[in-house]
Structure 1
């Protein structure tokens, strides 16, 4: 049985409780982070912590604990749950003042809720899916305008994944005004003529931690990177495509709306980027 963390306590998962009046439950008034674990070590932890702080600030949610304590909490959960490869999920909500109201509760008298739990994913870095790539469909992006804040408002991304599953595919890329924003739970990229193209940072996409690392490693490897919006038609005509996320690292995309890319197999640049990312991230893991 897993040990989880709830508001200062390490508990068996069957004993963990949160108020039914918690705003994360009632209003999706919460933010989250997911940190990968490889070989018992945390990947890109500092980046996730920095983004968590930004998300909290954007929504005016106060920090639930001193941030220097979060590393210790992550490590303890990894230790007690014996996680070799897997994920640590962290969620902060605005908390509960004992009732339901659209108005934020007083931050001076209402403590935020902090929850963490682990998920074991043996062989996470050796995912066989990465060797064959994934197939995606395109769907309309109808989410709210602050996608840069990593909130728990994930209903439409979940619906998008279900649309992909119904179509016999693996995921969906969301499209707004003809241009790809991102995947349902990842940042999206195409490769054309040895150039890596991905949408520039703005309120329209999540500021991916894996994205930042991959683009840095790509530049250090003398790969050309262009940050701009690209159309779904441009994506279908690309030489290669891929997505990045904390749980999938660099994942090749081999088909978009039924159109095969790189002969339907992962391309050279994408495979090299995955190798570089995993090698460099493991070196810096905590």
Structure 2
């Protein structure tokens, strides 16, 4: 049985409770982060903490009282749950003043809800999927306009993953005005002529922590990077494709809407970036 963290207390998961009036439950009024654990250490923790703070600020949401203790809380959960490889999920909500209302509760009298739990994922860095690559379908992007805020509004991305599963594929890339925005839970990239192409940062996509690290490592390795929108037709004609996320790291894409990319195997750029990311991230893991 896992130990979880709820508003200052470490509890068995069966004893964890929050109010039915919590605004995350009623309004999806909450933000979250997922930090990977490799070898018992946290990957890119500072980046996740900075993005959490940005998400809270963008939603005028008060920081939880334990904000400055989040590293210690993460480490304690990793320790007590004996997580060697896996994930730590963190969620902050606006809380509740005791009833349902569209108007935000008074931050002077209402404390945010803070919840964390772990997931054990043995062999996380050695996923067999990295050796096979992902098959992707394209779907319309029907989400709200502030995708840069990492909110718990995940119904449509979940539906997108189910659409992909129904089509016999692994995931979906979302399309707006003919251009790829991102994957259901990841940033999207193509490679053409050894140039890495990915959509630039804006309100249209999540500002991925793994994205930032991978692009930095790519440039340091003298790889050419172009940040701009690309069409789904460009993607289908690309030499390679890949995604990045905190839990998948760098994952090759080998097929889009039934169109094989390159020779149908994970490409050299994606494979090399995965190696670099894992090697460099482990050096700075906490």
For normalisation by structure 1, the TM-score amounts to 1.00
Give the Cα–Cα distance (whole angstroms) in 2 for the partners of residues 270 and 131 of structure 1.
11
Say if 2:167 is the partner of 1:163.
no
Corresponding position of 1:261: 261
Give the drift of 1:183: 0.1
Corresponding position of 2:152: 152
1:171-210 aligned within 5 A: 171-210=171-210
Give the Cα–Cα distance (whole angstroms) in 1 for the partners of residues 138 and 2 of structure 2.
37
Corresponding position of 2:99: 99
Corresponding position of 1:251: 251
Corresponding position of 1:222: 222
1:26-65 aligned within 5 A: 26-65=26-65
Deviations along 1:162-190, one digit per CA (max 9) or x if unpaired, are 00000000000000000000000000000
| 2:263 match: secondary structure | helix
Give the Cα–Cα distance (whole angstroms) in 2 for the partners of residues 145 and 96 of structure 1.
25
Corresponding position of 1:212: 212
| 1:262 match: secondary structure | coil
Question: Which consecutive segments of 4 or more residues in structure 1 shift more than 2 A?
Answer: 65-68
Say if 2:1 is the partner of 1:4.
no
Give the Cα–Cα distance (whole angstroms) in 2 for the partners of residues 252 and 65 of structure 1.
40
Listed as ranges, the gaps of 5+ residues in structure 2 are none
Give the drift of 1:66: 4.3
Give the drift of 1:111: 0.3
Give the Cα–Cα distance (whole angstroms) in 2 for the partners of residues 172 and 45 of structure 1.
27
Moved more, 65-74 or 251-260: 65-74
Give the drift of 1:65: 2.4
For normalisation by structure 2, the TM-score amounts to 1.00
| 1:119 match: secondary structure | strand
Q: How many matched pairs?
A: 286
Corresponding position of 1:140: 140
Give the drift of 1:68: 2.6
Deviations along 1:226-273, one digit per CA (max 9) or x if unpaired, are 000000000000000000000000000000000001211100111000
Corresponding position of 2:271: 271
Deviations along 1:91-139, one digit per CA (max 9) or x if unpaired, are 0000010000000000000000000000000000000000110100000
Give the Cα–Cα distance (whole angstroms) in 1 for the partners of residues 269 and 139 of structure 2.
26
Deviations along 1:2-49, one digit per CA (max 9) or x if unpaired, are 000000000000000000000000000000000000000000000000
